[in-house]
Amino acid sequence: MSRYKNIMTLDEFTIQQLRLFPHATGELSGLLRGIGLAAKQVNHEVNRAGIADILGAAGAVNVQGEEVQKLDVYANNVFIEVLRSGINCAGIVSEENEEAVIFDDTRSNASKYILLMDPIDGSGNIDINISIGSIFSVYRRLSPIGQPATLEDFLQKGIKQVAAGYVIYGSSTMLVYATRRGVNGFTLDNSIGEFYLSHPGLKIPARGKFYSFDNCYYNQVAPEIRRYVDYCMSVEENKTGPYSNRYYGCMVADTHRNLLKGGIFFYPAVAGKPDGKLRLCYECNPMAFITEVAGGKATNGRERILDIQPRHIHQRSPLFIGSEEMMEEVHQFMK
């Protein structure tokens, strides 16, 4: 007897979803299968991190001026090569590539989707065996099918996402993805290399116990944000604040915890970084889409993230994201 009675695999689930749409072509399921395959390859490498020669810096600096880790390079190549050899993606924008990677071959030009990704989020955690993630965002292209994808295809508002998701390489590896229909989480059974539906229909609690903010920026943020942080942790003597602090240095891990348990994550403008640190197109938008479908909210402090028109593929944005009531609370402080 199967050890997973009534549990669906990622592939079965996406095909089942497809059947709900009589005109669906199966391309999105195929693309998600490709992402799952790439994630399994990256996961395999992450699990061998201590023994394989993949710890540490690659000796380069990326377009953001940040030190690139070997695993950043590895994961970037894996996602690009898996999706290039598939038939469901016309091109990729990645944190690790200055320009969009347009596949431009007959097979890829015939596909209707493009992808944006952060191949490894939380790279600083690789060497110390703490959770890291991969983030992805899928759009229907604007350019005509049959032609190579264009830059314009990648510069769509987040609200236009067809699907978005992340992989968390944590104490277990999970793939969580959202379409307009809902957010579902799949846990990888390493022994047979299959993702199983473990968290169907995820909904984010309206509030939770944690706030995630890098407190080292306390003196570099706007006074209203400082007041909000004071409130979160309570600066009054003999009083604890309403929330505890959790900050993993990996937005995927912090957002994943908030999605399951409720909470808020914010990376606002800080001195010298007027747009914060996180990238709109492949960090903020996909996480905002997932969170909104799950019933939460995501803004840059004023505007909804998903309504921002991107001007540059690597542009940054302040980000406030999480449980609905906690988001309302932080907005009260910023009024």
Can residue 121 be called a binding residue for ligand AHG (CB under 6 A)? Answer: yes
Among ligand AHG, Mn ion, none, residue 27 binds (CB under 5-8 Å by kind) = none
Per DSSP, what are the bridge partners of residue 173?
Answer: 169
Stretch of 12-20, 24-32, 118-126, 168-176 contacting ligand AHG, by CB under 6 A? 118-126
How far lies 187's CA from each of 16, 18, 177, 178, 194, in Å? 18, 21, 12, 15, 8
Stretch of 73-81, 94-102, 159-167, 215-223 contacting Mn ion, by CB under 5 A? 94-102
Please pick, from the candidates 27, 118, 153, 194, the single residue that binds ligand AHG as defined by CB under 6 A. 118
Total number of residues binding ligand AHG (CB under 6 A)?
Answer: 11
Q: Closer to ligand AHG at the Cβ: 121 or 153?
A: 121
How does DSSP classify residue 9? Answer: B
Stretch of 53-61, 121-129, 163-171, 317-325 contacting ligand AHG, by CB under 6 A? 121-129
Contacting residues for 133 by C-beta, under 8 A, at least 6 apart? 118, 120, 121, 122, 166, 167, 168, 169, 250, 251, 252, 253, 256
The C-alpha atoms of residue 308 and residue 273 are separated, in whole angstroms, by: 19
Mask 241-260, x = binds ligand AHG (CB under 6 A)?
Answer: --------xxx---------
Q: Where are the beta strands (DSSP E) in 143-240?
A: 163-169, 173-179, 182-189, 194-199, 210-212
Mask 121-150, x = binds Mn ion (CB under 5 A)?
Answer: x-----------------------------
Q: Closer to ligand AHG at the Cβ: 70 or 277?
A: 277
Mask 104-123, x = binds Mn ion (CB under 5 A)?
Answer: --------------x-xx--
Q: Where are the beta strands (DSSP E) in the chain?
A: 57-61, 67-69, 91-94, 101-102, 113-121, 132-140, 163-169, 173-179, 182-189, 194-199, 210-212, 244-245, 263-267, 297-299, 319-322
Can residue 329 be called a binding residue for Mn ion (CB under 5 A)? Answer: no
Stretch of 120-128, 140-148, 158-166, 284-292 contacting ligand AHG, by CB under 6 A? 120-128
Question: What element of type H or E holds 252?
Answer: helix 251-261
Can residue 254 be called a binding residue for Mn ion (CB under 5 A)? Answer: no
Angle of helix 70-85 versus helix 27-47 axis, rounded to 10: 150
Please pick, from the candidates 11, 66, 67, 275, the single residue that binds ligand AHG as defined by CB under 6 A. 66
Among Mn ion, ligand AHG, none, residue 277 binds (CB under 5-8 Å by kind) = ligand AHG
Can residue 325 be called a binding residue for ligand AHG (CB under 6 A)? Answer: no
Can residue 275 be called a binding residue for ligand AHG (CB under 6 A)? Answer: no
Please pick, from the candidates 45, 67, 214, 324, the single residue that binds ligand AHG as defined by CB under 6 A. 214
Nearest approach, Cβ of 202 to Mn ion (angstroms)? Answer: 21
Stretch of 7-15, 43-51, 87-95, 227-235 contacting Mn ion, by CB under 5 A? 87-95
How far lies 58's CA from each of 66, 127, 146, 149, 327, in Å? 11, 12, 37, 30, 38
- The residue type found at 11 is D
Task: Quickly list DSSP for 12-75.
Answer: HHHHHHHTTSTT--SHHHHHHHHHHHHHHHHHHHHHTTTTTTT-SEEEEE-TTS-EEEHHHHHH
Nearest approach, Cβ of 117 to ligand AHG (angstroms)? Answer: 10
Q: Which residue ranges make up the site for ligand AHG (CB under 6 A)?
A: 66, 95, 118, 121-123, 214, 249-251, 277
Interface contacts to Mn ion, rule CB under 5 A: 95, 118, 120-121
